[in-house]
Amino acid sequence: MIDGIARFAEVVDELPPESTQQAVGYPSLFLLVALGALVPVVPTGAIVSSAAVVAFHQTSPLSLLFVFLVSAFAALLGDTALYWLGRRGVHSDKGSRWLAALEGRASPERLAHARERLDAHQVSVLVLSRLVPAGRIPVMLACLLAEMPLRRFVRGDAAACLAWAATYQLIGILGGSLFPEPWQGVVAAVVLTVLISTVPALWRRVRGARAEAPASGAPAPAPGAPAPETPASGSPGRSRHEHP
């Protein structure tokens, strides 16, 4: 076994640098994107953009096409596996930790909004869910609660994964075209994808804080103004001697 590993290392050392990057990069890209789709904590958009930067600086004209196809297929596979695991939780009396994890990552407001849009627009909402920051999980959970069949989900999610892979690959191409060195383009692509994913969430928090600030502070009564009357007992607004 040790001899086999040593021979493999020798073969890898003899390969041209670009071939080595492709032999290692595509499987790594597939695993990272699939894992990020299944466990929504890995920044898969930044990974795809970084891979697109590296592919942009390679001489092979098919490198960008391979990055696009691998990213889209891995995202679809991860989404399908997560949806299948979530369906098991929906149809189980005890639920599942996967369904609980999805519910924990979707706020009630965003879930209610996703369910309303799903009822109105059906599969088109699923197609756009991956392009909206933090929109994939609420829409997927809404599909689970609506008991959308797995085949129908896969059809809509396939278009969503293709659009998502194309969008983040374009970000990587932009970063690769602006800088001569690949590492500079990777840094630019990562920063841009992080801004795309975090700025909308921060803006929603700021708007929510501004909306809650006037509602939380009740106006103080004017000096000398009589205190509001409260019922002595019983139900609000009902006299003590009034019978139901």
Type and span of the H or E element at 142: helix 136-145
**pLDDT on residue 153:** 92
**pLDDT on residue 9:** 45
User: Would the pTM of this model clear 0.95, i.e. be above it?
Assistant: no
**pLDDT on residue 142:** 87
**pLDDT on residue 136:** 86
**pLDDT on residue 166:** 94
Most confident segment among 22-31, 46-55, 222-231: 46-55
User: Is 229 a residue whose pLDDT tops 50?
Assistant: yes
User: Is 239 a residue whose pLDDT tops 60?
Assistant: no
For 45-73, the pLDDT digits (tens) are 889 998 898 888 887 778 899 999 999 99
For 88-116, the pLDDT digits (tens) are 877 665 556 667 777 776 777 777 877 88
User: Is 15 a residue whose pLDDT tops 70?
Assistant: no
User: Is 77 a residue whose pLDDT tops 90?
Assistant: yes
**Averaged pLDDT, 15-36:** 75
**pLDDT on residue 66:** 93
Percent with pLDDT over 70 in the chain: 66
**pLDDT on residue 234:** 46
**pLDDT on residue 233:** 45
User: DSSP string covering the chain, please?
Assistant: -HHHHHHHHHHHHHS-HHHHHHHHHHHHHHHHHHHHHHSTTS-HHHHHHHHHHHHHTSS-TTHHHHHHHHHHHHHHHHHHHHHHHHHHHHTSTT--HHHHHHHHTS-HHHHHHHHHHHHHHTHHHHHHHTTSTT-HHHHHHHHHHTT--HHHHHHHHHHHHHHHHHHHHHHHHHHHHH-SSHHHHHHHHHHHHHHHHHHHHHHHHHHHHHHHHHHHSPPPPPTTPPPPP--SSSSTT--TT---
